[in-house]
């Protein structure tokens, strides 16, 4: 019951899920840019979406579907154009996409979800989407490769795919959760230019699936930041088709706890790896806060440090400029006594304390630089005040971030 | 009464103010790093300081002096070490600095203010400060050059000095306000790694001087952002020694209004030029919001756009990626209807509308690129909803910002 096994799988790992990814010509290049996920059985669904006031058309569309549809069976996503700031025409593209996909897949129109990421303000060419859906439907498969194609098709400036699957047991039945995501830029709590699709064969009610997502996302996807920009398109969807055959989870209890543990592994893995693959990143920048007065303060502190351009630039430069971490804590909105705080750097190369009792420690700059030179770096902050903790993930700020974003569209 | 004349002056422009700047060896280089401002007559003082919880020792020290001293006569500032996160020893450095300056200048110890900017976490070598004060006192002068030396001595990564003076008439007397500031990095509302010193010979009560500062700063210094990092050391001080001989301003009225107008010119000029000279900046990035429902929303919108890394990178790339402006508006915290918003770019090269009625306008990308290529670029946002307006100033995000901050200390 306790064993959760992590595998290299993705959205096709759970029973009954198929996927495909094709090049539909929406991107300027000939890279894959349209993905489809299909569940053979009707799936309950939960979703979380961007908090941005300017919501892309597919976000508004999906919010309505997640709210009103009893089940769904397909997700159609593209990575060329965000379909944001596109007014009524953008909504019409979503409706037509769902209509065509429903016809081709033989499912109800309200069982189709839509996702988009890419340039804001441009309209999606409907003819390319229609042809793309036809091709995707033909290629649908439950293989690992099909899932990899789908992941490739939602990536933008991502340099590596983010995919994971876990298996575990509920009521004697093997249950699988598989997921994929794309991130890279416009990544900031809450949510990101992030598309995350989680597919599970767990038998779970819509209410409990929703509770699971709402409970886990605040500690995972909402704790990452690449650049402080909360996107118009952030979408997290989890589909559960019940094919594992476990006793239906309809309330809190042991089975729900097991599901939550497994889901947390999937969500944290995808979130952490989106942070590590942030635009231009050379390192994962992890900030752990412990000993805070309350969870809210711990989160504010961790997120403030991980989002600071100056802290990120210091990590890029492998420079132990620890005052910047203190400074970012100071404007986080959390109240605290700076004299009580201790700061440590940690990585595979070791750990070192640089600040305590209100003053700099006499530490070796060379050793600190060596610890900060790894590709995963943790700043450990102990507030020495209470028992609350939080972790945030981000990345360093490099020349390449600027290069990528000064000239993204061309 | 209405005429306010702008000149090239600085902190020595007003009657009775002297200044000096020397190389005291606090910086690693042989650049000037200690400045002194001295008023021959006791001056009333008002100040505003960083909102960061981690306040540098000189900030805590000055807050107490501004609150409790009836008048002041000197400011001693250094630009090598921030004296932040330095605990009790840091406060002791402030006390000793004031004690020595008071002795050398023959003024009370509580008439001395302290300012610091530079690396956080290091202790200031007291022997160098003492020798520096001795040299500064010798060089004190009311010349334009002396003011320029003082400005040079508070600059860090600034590439150009920020100095201004204005003269105007109150009650038949010529009144002058002169000011200087340094900015460059860790610049974000509220306040910045900013030291701003304003010297006026206006005869004005402490209460009205304080009111003037508190009224003007929210629309000037608190509307600039370079990198989203609110510093530990932000300090704005205004000294008024009364030597202009005008009827004392002790309440609201025409004289106070005239003083406010002149002060606003000084504050806005210094703030705007700090933004333009932000670390690595190639352009001033101005965001004007009009037609908002209320002032608070207008400020949130302008500040969110001017602070966005993606918007800043787009300006650096001269890339009309207008969706990023909409996106940053969307997560500003202000509520609005995106369908009503219009966006224009403006610069010396012309102006162009790129978005209205919820959709992209059919505009020339080439012309937009030309407008965005100037060294002062304005994004004009009309909410078409109410009558409130606000302006924020920032700069673009360049490779050099990263370069400067990845390796600031060495």
Which residues on A lie below 8 Å from B326 (Cβ)? 54, 84-85, 120-121, 232
Residue B212 · residue B30 · CB < 8 Å:
no
The partner residue sitting opposite B323, judged by closest CB among A82, A317, A407, is A82
Question: Would you call A402 and B405 a contact, using CB atoms and an 8 Å cutoff?
Answer: no
Written as one string, the DSSP assignment of B102-138 is HHHHTS-GGGEEEEE-SBSSPPP-HHHHHHHHHHHHH
The residue in chain A having the minimum alpha-carbon distance to the alpha carbon of residue B409 is: A321
pLDDT value of position A280:
79
**Residues B137 and B198 grouped into a single domain:** yes
> In sequence order, which residues have a C-beta less than 8 Å from that of residue B211 and are 6 or more positions away?
none
Which residues on A lie below 8 Å from B324 (Cβ)? 120, 229
Q: Where is A327: in which H helix or E strand?
A: helix A323-330
Which residues on B lie below 8 Å from A409 (Cβ)? 319, 321
pLDDT value of position A71:
96
Tokens, residue B331: 């997560």
First to last CA, chain B: 51
The partner residue sitting opposite A230, judged by closest CB among B82, B86, B331, is B331
Residues of B annotated as catalytic (active site), given as ranges: 193
Burial A277-308 (b: 16+ CB within 10 A, else e): bbbbbbbbbbbbbbbbeebebbbbbbbbbbbb
User: Rounded to whole angstroms, how far apart are CA atoms B129 and B96?
Assistant: 9
**Residues A87 and A178 grouped into a single domain:** yes
Question: Would you call B329 and A87 a contact, using CB atoms and an 8 Å cutoff?
Answer: no
Q: Find where tokens 């999906």 sit.
A: A62
pLDDT value of position B331:
85
**Residues A214 and A157 grouped into a single domain:** yes
**Residues A288 and A257 grouped into a single domain:** no
Question: Would you call B313 and A402 a contact, using CB atoms and an 8 Å cutoff?
Answer: yes
Is residue B67 predicted with pLDDT exceeding 90?
yes
Here the ipTM equals: 0.76
**Residues B251 and B371 grouped into a single domain:** no
**Residues B257 and B304 grouped into a single domain:** no
- Torsions phi, psi of B268, nearest 5? -65, -40
Which residue among B215, B250, B276 closes a domain?
Answer: B276
Which residues on B lie below 8 Å from A184 (Cβ)? none
Is residue B259 predicted with pLDDT exceeding 90?
yes
Q: Tell me: the pLDDT tens digits for B10-59?
A: 999 999 999 999 999 998 788 999 999 999 999 999 999 988 888 899 99
The partner residue sitting opposite A355, judged by closest CB among B85, B397, B405, is B85
User: Rounded to whole angstroms, how far apart are CA atoms B347 and B371?
Assistant: 6
Give SS3 for B252. Answer: coil
User: Mean of the pLDDT values across residues A346-356?
Assistant: 95
User: Rounded to whole angstroms, how far apart are CA atoms B174 and B155?
Assistant: 30
The CB density around residue A1, as the number of other CB atoms within 10 Å, is 12
**Residues B261 and B216 grouped into a single domain:** yes
**Residues B26 and B129 grouped into a single domain:** yes
Is residue A402 predicted with pLDDT exceeding 80?
no
Structural domain boundaries, residue A50: 5-276
Which residues on A lie below 8 Å from B191 (Cβ)? none
Cα A136 to Cα A2, A239, A310: the distances in Å are 38, 19, 44
CATH number at residue A158: 3.60.70.12
Question: Would you call B402 and A407 a contact, using CB atoms and an 8 Å cutoff?
Answer: no
**Residues A118 and A261 grouped into a single domain:** yes
The CB density around residue A353, as the number of other CB atoms within 10 Å, is 14
> In sequence order, which residues have a C-beta less than 8 Å from that of residue A47 and are 6 or more positions away?
A62, A63, A66, A113, A213, A235, A236, A237, A238
Tell me the pairing of strands A5-7 and B34-49.
Answer: unpaired
Confidence label for A350 from pLDDT (cuts 50, 70 and 90): very high
Q: Where is A22: in which H helix or E strand?
A: strand A17-22
According to DSSP, the residues that pair with A227 across neighbouring strands are none
**Residues A73 and A174 grouped into a single domain:** yes
User: Rounded to whole angstroms, how far apart are CA atoms B130 and B101?
Assistant: 8
Computed over every residue of chain B, the mean pLDDT equals 91
Question: Which one of the listed residues A12, A44, A193, A200 is annotated catalytic?
Answer: A193
**Residues B259 and B288 grouped into a single domain:** no
Tell me the pairing of strands B5-7 and B162-170.
Answer: antiparallel
> In sequence order, which residues have a C-beta less than 8 Å from that of residue A337 and are 6 or more positions away?
A385
The residue in chain B having the minimum alpha-carbon distance to the alpha carbon of residue A355 is: B121
Q: Where is B299: in which H helix or E strand?
A: helix B295-307
Residue A189 · residue A223 · CB < 8 Å:
yes
pLDDT value of position B399:
78
Total number of domains constituting chain B:
2
Q: Tell me: the pLDDT tens digits for A310-340?
A: 898 889 888 888 888 998 898 888 999 999 9
CATH number at residue A315: 3.10.20.340
Confidence label for B80 from pLDDT (cuts 50, 70 and 90): confident
pTM of the full structure: 0.82
Comparing CA positions, the residue from B209, B218, B221 lying closest to residue B72 is B209
Confidence label for B349 from pLDDT (cuts 50, 70 and 90): very high
Is residue B244 predicted with pLDDT exceeding 60?
yes
Cα A348 to Cα A372, A389, B116: the distances in Å are 10, 22, 37
Residue A313 · residue A404 · CB < 8 Å:
no
Written as one string, the DSSP assignment of A337-384 is -GGG-EEEEEETTEEEEEEETTEE----HHHHHHHTTSSEEEEEEE-S
Which residue among B244, B259, B276 closes a domain?
Answer: B276
Residue B15 · residue B214 · CB < 8 Å:
no
Give SS3 for B291. Answer: strand
The residue in chain B having the minimum alpha-carbon distance to the alpha carbon of residue A330 is: B53
The residue in chain B having the minimum alpha-carbon distance to the alpha carbon of residue A354 is: B121
Which residues on B lie below 8 Å from A231 (Cβ)? 327
According to DSSP, the residues that pair with A45 across neighbouring strands are A239
Cα A28 vs. chain centroid, distance in angstroms? Answer: 25
User: Rounded to whole angstroms, how far apart are CA atoms A264 and B270?
Assistant: 50
Which residue among A221, A252, A276 closes a domain?
Answer: A276
**Residues A303 and A187 grouped into a single domain:** no
Question: Would you call A338 and B89 a contact, using CB atoms and an 8 Å cutoff?
Answer: no
Question: Would you call B338 and A120 a contact, using CB atoms and an 8 Å cutoff?
Answer: no
Question: Would you call A229 and B309 a contact, using CB atoms and an 8 Å cutoff?
Answer: yes
Question: Would you call B324 and A229 a contact, using CB atoms and an 8 Å cutoff?
Answer: yes
Is residue A1 predicted with pLDDT exceeding 50?
no
Give SS3 for B272. Answer: helix
Is residue B190 predicted with pLDDT exceeding 60?
no
Counted residue by residue, chain A has a size of: 410
Comparing CA positions, the residue from A292, A315, A294 lying closest to residue A393 is A315
Computed over every residue of chain A, the mean pLDDT equals 91
């Amino acid at each position: 019951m306790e064993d959760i096994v992590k595998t290299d799988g993705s959205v096709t790992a759970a029973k009954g899920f198929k996927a495909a990814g094709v090049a539909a010509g929406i991107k300027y290049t000939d890279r894959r840019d349209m993905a489809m996920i299909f569940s053979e059985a009707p799936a309950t669904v939960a979703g979380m979406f961007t908090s941005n006031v300017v919501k892309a058309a597919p976000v508004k569309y999906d919010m309505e579907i997640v709210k009103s549809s009893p089940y769904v069976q397909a997700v159609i996503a593209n990575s060329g154009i965000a379909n944001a700031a596109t007014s009524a025409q953008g909504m019409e593209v979503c409706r037509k996409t769902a209509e065509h996909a429903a016809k081709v897949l033989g499912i109800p129109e309200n069982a189709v979800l839509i996702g988009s990421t890419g340039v804001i303000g441009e309209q999606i060419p409907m003819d390319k989407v229609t042809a793309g859906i036809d091709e995707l439907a033909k290629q649908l498969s439950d293989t690992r490769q099909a899932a990899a194609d789908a992941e490739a098709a939602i990536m933008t400036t991502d340099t590596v795919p983010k995919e994971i699957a876990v298996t575990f047991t509920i009521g004697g039945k093997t249950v699988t959760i598989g997921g994929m995501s794309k991130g890279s830029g416009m990544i900031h709590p809450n949510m990101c230019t992030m598309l995350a699709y989680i597919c599970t064969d767990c038998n779970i009610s819509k209410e409990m699936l929703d509770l699971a997502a709402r409970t886990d996302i605040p500690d995972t996807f909402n704790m990452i930041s690449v650049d402080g920009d909360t996107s118009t398109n952030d979408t997290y969807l989890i589909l559960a088709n019940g094919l594992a055959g476990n006793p239906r989870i309809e309330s809190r209890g042991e089975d729900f706890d097991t599901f939550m543990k497994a889901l947390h592994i999937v969500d944290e893995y995808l979130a952490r790896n989106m942070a590590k693959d942030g635009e231009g990143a050379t390192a994962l920048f992890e900030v752990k806060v412990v000993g805070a007065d309350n969870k809210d303060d711990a989160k504010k502190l961790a997120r403030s440090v991980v989002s600071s351009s100056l802290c990120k630039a210091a990590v890029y430069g492998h420079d132990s400029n620890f005052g910047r971490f203190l400074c970012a804590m100071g404007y986080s909105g959390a109240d605290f006594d700076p004299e009580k705080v201790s700061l440590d750097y940690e990585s595979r190369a070791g750990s070192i304390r640089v600040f305590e009792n209100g003053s700099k420690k006499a530490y070796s700059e060379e050793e600190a630089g060596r610890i900060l030179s790894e590709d995963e770096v943790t700043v450990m902050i102990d507030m020495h005040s209470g028992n609350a903790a939080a972790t945030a993930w981000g990345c360093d700020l490099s020349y390449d971030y600027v290069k990528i974003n000064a000239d993204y569209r061309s």
